[in-house]
């Protein structure tokens, strides 16, 4: 399940500057084992590709074994790529 969270939440190369029109996007998903994970992705640029300014997990089932929520996902993602494509406000 941890791999699902990391894959759904993003990957991390913190190099893209934030736009004046940065978007914050909420997300949620339910894993095959049950339980819903919710969170937010902050600072995406609309209508293009960008890196997120931050990713926060707001809730997750205890059985996944993640830190208590809410928690900042960025420290977990330092070795991955932070890349999102947004079109008309939708990643």
- Domain membership of residue 91 (yes or no) is no
Q: With a cut of 50, say whether residue 1 has pLDDT above it.
A: no
**How far is the C-alpha of 29 from the C-alpha of 52, rounded, in Å?**
19
Of the candidates 7, 57, 10, the one whose C-alpha atom is nearest the C-alpha of residue 37 is 57
pLDDT tens profile 19-64? 457 899 999 999 888 889 999 999 999 888 988 888 999 999 988 8
- Domain membership of residue 66 (yes or no) is yes
What's the number of domains the chain is made of? 1
- Domain membership of residue 17 (yes or no) is yes
Stated pTM of the model:
0.67
Indicate left, alpha or beta for 43 from its phi (over 0: left) and psi (-120 to 50: alpha).
left
**How far is the C-alpha of 17 from the C-alpha of 51, rounded, in Å?**
8
Confidence of residue 17 (pLDDT cuts 50, 70, 90): very low
């Amino acid at each position: 399940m941890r791999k699902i969270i990391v894959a759904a939440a993003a990957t991390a190369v913190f190099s893209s500057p934030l736009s004046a029109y940065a978007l914050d996007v909420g997300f949620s998903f339910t894993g095959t084992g049950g339980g819903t994970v919710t969170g937010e992705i902050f600072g995406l640029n609309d209508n293009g590709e960008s890196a997120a300014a931050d990713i926060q997990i707001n809730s997750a089932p205890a059985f996944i074994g993640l830190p208590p929520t809410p928690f900042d996902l960025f420290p977990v993602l330092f070795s991955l790529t932070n890349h999102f494509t947004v079109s008309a406000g939708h990643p």
